[in-house]
């Protein structure tokens, strides 16, 4: 990983409603050329929800999970449950090194970052060396893929089970990575307080980002342009059935 220091923006947006959470991530991607710097965002959820991949069929997702609302992500991937998970996103401007990476390498890199952050918390995790053969194969099933059923190469594992996954979208606007850490597996035995350990993990992500990636994160709040665009996308797209049921 690179170690030359550069300025990144850090956005801790706290709990948000499901439609707005997806909208702000897309607004960040759209703003990359204007902002000119990568953004690391941490966020939570004001209510339980599930997001699903851009290319998944809504009817299949609806049958596969009882969680509501169901919100289509701007990225790919499978169904992700959101309630007590630790959610983050990364946005990179066009021309940035991460934007030019192959998808597998950026996937490996982000999970190696999370792995190192967990090591700071004395929690040992592993990068999956390959796919779990028991993972649901949607080519021979009417059920959609669930992100945390089985694992694929470079997913993050704890004691053999997947605890972190991510989805990506590359375009001329930049690169957006949306990721989720599901801490429930190890919380009972290794984490004393979800709230305090989530904050500790976010601090570790920041520290490791600086040490390994050379990312000097500066606190960042959405300006009026970004906020207004996110609210527009939330109201006109992510909260609308015409988008979420589009296929």
Q: Which of 130, 131, 147, 217 is catalytic?
A: 147
Distance CA 206, CA 211 (A): 9
**Which of 25, 120, 44, 54 minimizes the C-alpha distance to 85?**
44
Question: Do 89 and 73 touch, CB atoms closer than 8 A?
Answer: no
**Which of 202, 217, 211, 208 minimizes the C-alpha distance to 4?**
211
147 is catalytic: yes
**Which of 92, 83, 88 minimizes the C-alpha distance to 117?**
88
Phi and psi torsions of 76, nearest 5°: -85, -150
Distance CA 68, CA 110 (A): 28
DSSP 79: B
Residue 19: both structure tokens together: 């439609």
Question: Which residues are known to be catalytic?
Answer: 147
């Amino acid at each position: 990983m690179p170690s030359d220091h550069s300025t990144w923006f850090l956005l801790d947006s706290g709990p948000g409603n499901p439609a707005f959470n997806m909208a702000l991530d897309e607004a960040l991607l759209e703003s990359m050329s204007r902002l000119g710097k990568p953004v690391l965002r941490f966020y939570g959820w004001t209510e339980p929800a599930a997001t699903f991949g851009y290319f998944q069929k809504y009817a299949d997702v609806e049958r596969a999970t009882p969680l509501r609302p169901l919100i289509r992500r701007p990225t790919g991937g499978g169904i992700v449950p959101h309630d007590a998970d630790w959610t983050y996103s990364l946005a990179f401007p066009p021309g940035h090194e991460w934007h030019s990476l192959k998808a597998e390498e950026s996937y490996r890199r982000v999970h190696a970052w999370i792995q190192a952050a967990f090591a700071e918390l004395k929690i040992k995790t592993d990068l999956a060396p390959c796919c779990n053969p028991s993972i649901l194969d949607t080519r021979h099933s009417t059920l959609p893929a669930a992100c945390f059923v089985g694992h694929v190469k470079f997913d993050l594992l704890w004691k053999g089970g997947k605890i972190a996954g991510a989805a990506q979208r590359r375009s001329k606007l930049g690169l957006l990575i949306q990721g989720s850490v599901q801490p429930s597996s190890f919380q009972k035995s290794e984490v004393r307080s979800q709230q305090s350990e989530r904050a500790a993990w976010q601090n570790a992500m920041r520290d490791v980002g600086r040490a390994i990636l050379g990312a000097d994160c500066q606190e960042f709040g959405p300006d009026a342009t970004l906020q207004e665009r996110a609210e527009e996308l939330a109201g006109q797209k992510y909260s609308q059935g015409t988008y979420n049921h589009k296929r």
